[in-house]
Structure 1
Amino acid sequence: MNAWAARSPCDPRCVAADAARAPAPRVLRRTAAFGRVVAGALAAPGRLGDPEVVRARAQAVLDALDVRLEHRGGTLGEPGPTGTLVVANHISWLDVIALLAVEPVTMLAKNQVGDWPLVGPLVKRAGTMFIDRDSLRELPGTVARIADRLRAGRSVMVFPQGVTWCYGTGGPFRRAAFQAALDAGAPVRPVTLDYFQRRDPTTVAAFVGEDDFARSLGRVIRAADLRVRVTVHRALPPAPGDRRALAARARAAVAGTPAPPARVPGIRRSAPPPVGLRTPDLWTPG
């Protein structure tokens, strides 16, 4: 891992150990339903190229797990000659499933996602773009690929934190993907992901640190009344400018904080503090 790689202080200790659990018979039904949905998707021939098929498959995964999807706001894409760069905070592997259930777009994900059991082959067949997030050498090529997709009218979804956090919006947004939006003259759509059990925020869906996918999936299957909220914010219009400022504006929209003031040449401002669930385990590196 290089010195510039994104890092998070979150690890499996941040995940709610006392989260409400579903009854055992319901857990067994969810496990069987999840297996059937994924097996059916993998058995279908070819790529999952049809957006409505992708959306239906993603929604079926959520339904099998009894994860309720709450969608606030409009579409992820923005009408216009280019695609839209969609940016969101990153908490869980469920983020990808929830976003595809709202609107299928091209996902940008780290290589390891493709190796996850069950879900990995599914997202591969949905047309996900995979990258090595620890390789600076690949970065210019990745930016160019994203810009090409945007120019071709395809919307691309990225998680600019570069790493998962237990809750909220921790750490800065990496700026490379925003350069692709500037190069393509594409709008940026901020999106906020939140997880709840009943009405309370929860970290039970978080997939952080050296967590194991099977353990994370098990927590989701056992969780009672789990809900994911996808809040789609107003798009930031395409305009030539500073990718640092664009990334900061997008992060502020995702976090629900005031947008930072415009940068003034010769004056340096400190980075905004992380926004989210503040607990010692979450915000202090372990």
Structure 2
Amino acid sequence: MSVWLPTAPCTPAGCASPRWPTVRRATAVLRLAAGTAAVLAGLVLAPVAAVLGPAGRGRLAALWCRTVMRAFGVRVRVSGAVPPRRLPGLPPGPGTLVVPNHVSWLDIPLVASVLPGRMLAKREVRRWPVLGPLARLGGTLFVDRDRLRELPAVVGAVAGALRRGSRVVVFPEGSTWCGRERGRFRPAAFQAALDAGAAVQPVHIAYRPVGAAAFVGDDALGASLWRVATAAGLTAEITVLPPIPAAAHPDRRALARAARPAVGGAAAAGATAAPHPRPREPRPVPAQATADRDSANLPSASVHHPVSLIPAAASSERTPS
């Protein structure tokens, strides 16, 4: 694995251990069967989608993704103003770079159900059974995560798609996080928005109960599918935030820094996990006790910062910086 790839400290044991109500086993099995059938239905619809125009393909993709989410028992809540793919009566212009935070494999059908567009995915997805052909038919842009030299070409491909008016979805954290914390936004994809003169559309994703949908660390897809199917009342919340004009920022790093707090602002407003407990006011201590303690200061234990400070395993889902 390349050292430049981003990683998250989230692990299945620390972030996705069942701590929420679950449905009966029979219900979970039915959900898995329904979800699998819904995914396979995409193969049947693929020839139909191929003959439709971009608008028709987008509507069909959104309908299919909503069906997949519902089949797995996931409720979807949308907030914010969802922009139209094309404004009627106006000449064609550049598309939009959609930049959500990244929690789960469910993020892909969730975003596509609200903001259908071309996804940026790792090259391995192309070879996946069922999903690989669907991704290719949906116009997914693929990137080899292990070859940093290919990154400029990927940025160029994203910029070209944006210039042609496509909506492109990129997860700039480059790694999945469990929903309690989030990673920094890698700036590479934002260069494509600058080159194309496209707006950036921040999107915030959250799941309740927190952790049920998380797909992190060395998590197996089968284990994640089972957690989703067994979770009672799993709700996916997607918040579409105001767009950010790329031209208002001098470079990709400044644009990335502007987009990340926008997504974080939705989290602060209550769109993500339950807040951490409020810290207690520090009690005054004698000066000598403070001096004796200074040399032993260590990070406190939490889900994301274990006392042992041993790096966690790399995330299951990654995109380039």
Deviation readout 1:153-182 (Å, 9 max, x if unpaired): 001000001011111552211000001100
User: How far apart, in 2, do the equivalents of 1:175 and 1:276 lie?
Assistant: 28
User: How far apart, in 1, do the equivalents of 2:275 and 2:120 lie?
Assistant: 26
1:179 aligned counterpart, secondary structure: helix
Does residue 226 (structure 1) correspond to residue 248 (structure 2)? The answer is: no
Question: Residue 66 of structure 2 aligns with which residue?
Answer: 59
User: How far apart, in 2, do the equivalents of 1:58 and 1:195 lie?
Assistant: 17
- 2:260 is matched by which residue type in structure 1? R
CA contact (8 A) 1:89 1:168 kept: no
Question: Residue 205 of structure 1 aligns with which residue?
Answer: 213
- 1:88 is matched by which residue type in structure 2? P
Compute the displacement of 1:78 (Å): 7.7
Question: Residue 265 of structure 1 aligns with which residue?
Answer: none
CA, structure 1 residues 58+195, in 2 after alignment: closer, same or farther (shift >3 Å)?
Answer: same
CA contact (8 A) 1:195 1:227 kept: yes
- 1:11 is matched by which residue type in structure 2? T
Compute the displacement of 1:277 (Å): 7.0
How many aligned positions are there? 266
Question: Residue 11 of structure 1 aligns with which residue?
Answer: 11
Gaps of 5+ in 2: 51-56, 268-272, 277-300, 313-321
Higher mean displacement: 5-14 or 47-56:
47-56
Question: Residue 148 of structure 2 aligns with which residue?
Answer: 136
Question: Residue 105 of structure 1 aligns with which residue?
Answer: 117
Larger Rg: 2
User: How far apart, in 2, do the equivalents of 1:15 and 1:44 lie?
Assistant: 34
2:149 aligned counterpart, secondary structure: coil
Does residue 238 (structure 1) correspond to residue 246 (structure 2)? The answer is: yes
Question: Residue 285 of structure 2 aligns with which residue?
Answer: none
User: How far apart, in 2, do the equivalents of 1:233 and 1:103 lie?
Assistant: 12
Compute the displacement of 1:122 (Å): 3.4
Compute the displacement of 1:5 (Å): 1.4
CA contact (8 A) 2:204 2:266 kept: no
Compute the displacement of 1:183 (Å): 0.6
1:137 aligned counterpart, secondary structure: helix
Compute the displacement of 1:117 (Å): 5.2
CA contact (8 A) 1:47 1:125 kept: no
Cα RMSD of the aligned pairs, angstroms, is 2.4
Deviation readout 1:21-44 (Å, 9 max, x if unpaired): 112232132122112212221233
- Larger relative helix fraction: 2
Task: State which of 80, 84, 106 in structure 1 corresponds to 2:96.
Answer: 84
- 2:58 is matched by which residue type in structure 1? P
Question: Residue 192 of structure 1 aligns with which residue?
Answer: 204
CA, structure 1 residues 124+210, in 2 after alignment: closer, same or farther (shift >3 Å)?
Answer: farther
Q: Sequence identity, in percent?
A: 41
CA, structure 1 residues 47+151, in 2 after alignment: closer, same or farther (shift >3 Å)?
Answer: farther
CA, structure 1 residues 218+121, in 2 after alignment: closer, same or farther (shift >3 Å)?
Answer: farther
CA contact (8 A) 1:47 1:127 kept: no
CA contact (8 A) 2:178 2:215 kept: yes
Question: Residue 68 of structure 1 aligns with which residue?
Answer: 75
User: How far apart, in 2, do the equivalents of 1:203 and 1:23 lie?
Assistant: 19
> TM-score by structure 1 length?
0.85
1:159 aligned counterpart, secondary structure: coil
Structure 1 residues 118-157: aligned runs within 5 Å? 118-157=130-169
1:20 aligned counterpart, secondary structure: coil
User: How far apart, in 1, do the equivalents of 2:274 and 2:149 lie?
Assistant: 32
Higher mean displacement: 182-191 or 33-42:
33-42
- 2:61 is matched by which residue type in structure 1? V
Task: State which of 281, 303, 307 in structure 2 corresponds to 1:281.
Answer: 303
CA contact (8 A) 1:146 1:156 kept: yes
CA contact (8 A) 1:168 1:255 kept: no
CA contact (8 A) 2:123 2:144 kept: yes
CA contact (8 A) 2:246 2:255 kept: no
> TM-score by structure 2 length?
0.76
Higher mean displacement: 107-116 or 49-58:
107-116
CA, structure 1 residues 10+125, in 2 after alignment: closer, same or farther (shift >3 Å)?
Answer: same
Question: Residue 170 of structure 2 aligns with which residue?
Answer: 158
